[in-house]
Amino acid sequence: MHKIWSVLSFRQRLLLPIAAMILSALMSGAVALLVFSPDQFEYENEQEAGSARAVANALNAALKASRNPEETLDAFGTNLGNVEAVGYLSGGTAAPKRTARFNGSKVPAWFVSNLAIPDLTKSYPIDIGTARVGAIVYSPDLSADIWEKWMGFLAIISTGSLPMLFAAFGTHLVAGRTIRPMERLGAGLTRMREGDYDAVIPLTGPPEIQQFCREANRLAATLEQLSRDNRDLLRKLVSLQDEERRRVARELHDEMGPLLFAIRANVAALSESAPESSAPLQGLVEAAEALQQANKRILQGLSPLYLEALGLFGSLEALLRDARKQAPGMRIRSNIGRDLDALDDLLSQTTYRVIQEGVTNVLRHANASHMDVSATIDMDNLNIEIADDGSSLPDFNFGRGLTGMSERARALDGKLELSRENGRTIVRCSLPIHRETVDQS
């Protein structure tokens, strides 16, 4: 019972007791008819049945006193006729041949069938001497009685059920006016849970619900302020991280670059002055070249080269040109918006790193023949997508690179998703563009 009640809506919980009361009123009316209608039928027809008995007694007395009882009986039958509830049946049996009559054109058959109508037909024998010659039979017309019961049943319904029906209708209206504001409140709380704090919940309904809506709006305003503060803090954190990476990259470039170049130059000079030691010195040259390449990769990972000089559009085009050189057999298509250069440094860095990480993963792990790269601005969102037709990623788990990019996207109030659709692995990143993320210069 508790489970059934728990799944009922607020309106259903209000209407269910009223429906039970209406049903109980109908049942009580039906029980009253079944219990009391037989006695009522008996009582209402008792007087007429007594009249028939009196007629029979008077006729028997007259026949006994008559010199010609047959003639007296014929005259009685002619004068009595065969109408109304009392009639004369001739014959040597006292069994009645007439039954109670009813014109049911105005009363439903189901109602009549459920009435407990007793056998109201009465038979009083008529004798001449010791011979049974007929009977006075009482067979009442129950049309009026049944109509009276039907009217009584309708009266029970009208006095007991109709007010409850009006009450149910009123409850339905009140519940609707109460539920609609609660539904708006629930929808507003759902939007808040999803991060939408701008929509104001209308203050409608009873005062208590209006107070709930007012408090929910205040909570939304507080959460909106906290969200802005959190976003600003995360942006500052990411900016500090990027600035630290650029500082480390500059130091590596300014310190390691010249040192490695000096090593290569000195080893080359030694190789010319001591030809007999050229083989070991050549190994030193190759090691220095390898260090230079590793230093270049580290610099590229710490801070994208040429981003400030070329802009985001030019840097992404250069990144894809390098990718085509590394995988000449792969078909790489791109859709890079030229308006990306209007983004600020933080959003540009994030966009470049997401595409760089996605392209690097495809080149290293996907074994793909086609790759599509897209970065476009759509209204107030920057949409990034890297798709390839290579093998699926196991369990779609992010690696360390994509995990870092996902955290960076969340810091900018965006999201990064990895999915497998129609035989293609797709990395999607959506970053909101706030006014502070677009250069005003």
For residue 274, the model assigns a pLDDT of 67
**150 falls in which pLDDT band (50, 70, 90)?**
confident
For residue 276, the model assigns a pLDDT of 61
Greater confidence (84 vs 249) lies with 249
State CA 370 to chain mean position distance: 41
Greater confidence (77 vs 262) lies with 262
**5 falls in which pLDDT band (50, 70, 90)?**
low
pLDDT(331) > 90: yes
Q: Which residues of 342-352 are buried (b: 16+ CB within 10 A; e: fewer)?
A: bbbbbbbbbbb
**414 falls in which pLDDT band (50, 70, 90)?**
confident
β-pairing, 370-378 vs 331-336, is: parallel
Greater confidence (110 vs 314) lies with 314
pLDDT one-digit tens code per residue, 172-211: 677 777 778 888 888 888 888 877 888 888 888 778 888 8
Report, as an integer, the average pLDDT of 28-44.
72
For residue 98, the model assigns a pLDDT of 43
Percentage of the chain beyond pLDDT 90 is: 8
pLDDT(307) > 80: no
Report, as an integer, the average pLDDT of 284-306.
73
Three-state helix/strand/coil letters over the chain: CHHHHHHCCHHHHHHHHHHHHHHHHHHHHHHHHHHHHHHHHHHHHHHHHHHHHHHHHHHHHHHHHCCCHHHHHHHHHHHHCCCCCEEEEECCCCCCCCCCECCCCCCCHHHHHCCCCCCCCEEEEEEECCEEEEEEEECCECHHHHHHHHHHHHHHHHHHCHHHHHHHHHHHHHHHHHHHHHHHHHHHHHHHHCCCCCCCCCCCCCHHHHHHHHHHHHHHHHHHHHHHHHHHHHHHHHHHHHHHHHHHHHHHHHHHHHHHHHHHHHHHHHHHHCHHHHHHHHHHHHHHHHHHHHHHHHHHHHCCCCHHHHHHHHHHHHHHHHHHHHCCCCEEEEEECHHHHHECHHHHHHHHHHHHHHHHHHHHHHCCCEEEEEEEEECCEEEEEEEECCCCCHHHCCCHHHHHHHHHHHHCCCEEEEEEECCEEEEEEEEECCHHHECCC
What are the C-alpha distances in Å from 416 to residues 63, 65, 343, 386, 413? 116, 120, 19, 11, 10
- In this prediction the pTM is 0.48
Residue with tokens 């600003």: 232
Q: How many CB atoms lie within 10 A of CB 326?
A: 12
**97 falls in which pLDDT band (50, 70, 90)?**
very low
Helical pair 400-411 and 207-251, crossing angle rounded to 10 deg: 130
For residue 427, the model assigns a pLDDT of 92
**395 falls in which pLDDT band (50, 70, 90)?**
very low
For residue 348, the model assigns a pLDDT of 87
What are the C-alpha distances in Å from 70 to residues 66, 67, 127? 9, 9, 11
First to last CA, the chain: 69
Percentage of the chain beyond pLDDT 70 is: 81
For residue 39, the model assigns a pLDDT of 72
pLDDT(383) > 70: yes
Contact 252, 302 (CB under 8 A): yes
Question: Which residue from 288, 353, 350, 359 is spatially nearest to 325, judged by alpha carbons?
Answer: 359
Minimum mean pLDDT range among 6-10, 58-62, 208-212, 283-287: 6-10
Average pLDDT, the chain: 78
pLDDT one-digit tens code per residue, 336-346: 999 888 888 88
Distance in angstroms (rounded) separating the CA atoms of residues 404 and 301 = 13
pLDDT(124) > 50: yes
Q: How many CB atoms lie within 10 A of CB 418?
A: 19
Q: Name the token pair of 201.
A: 């919940």
Report, as an integer, the average pLDDT of 221-241.
80
What are the C-alpha distances in Å from 367 to residues 319, 358, 371, 401? 19, 13, 10, 18
**334 falls in which pLDDT band (50, 70, 90)?**
very high
Greater confidence (324 vs 98) lies with 324
For residue 384, the model assigns a pLDDT of 95
Long-range Cβ contact pairs of 324-332 (< 8 A, separation 24 or more): 326/363, 327/363, 329/369, 330/363, 330/368, 330/369, 330/370, 330/371, 331/369, 331/370, 331/371, 332/370, 332/371, 332/372, 332/373
For residue 429, the model assigns a pLDDT of 93
**396 falls in which pLDDT band (50, 70, 90)?**
very low
Domains along the sequence of the chain with CATH: 8-160 (no CATH), 311-441 (3.30.565.10)
**247 falls in which pLDDT band (50, 70, 90)?**
confident
Contact 312, 276 (CB under 8 A): no
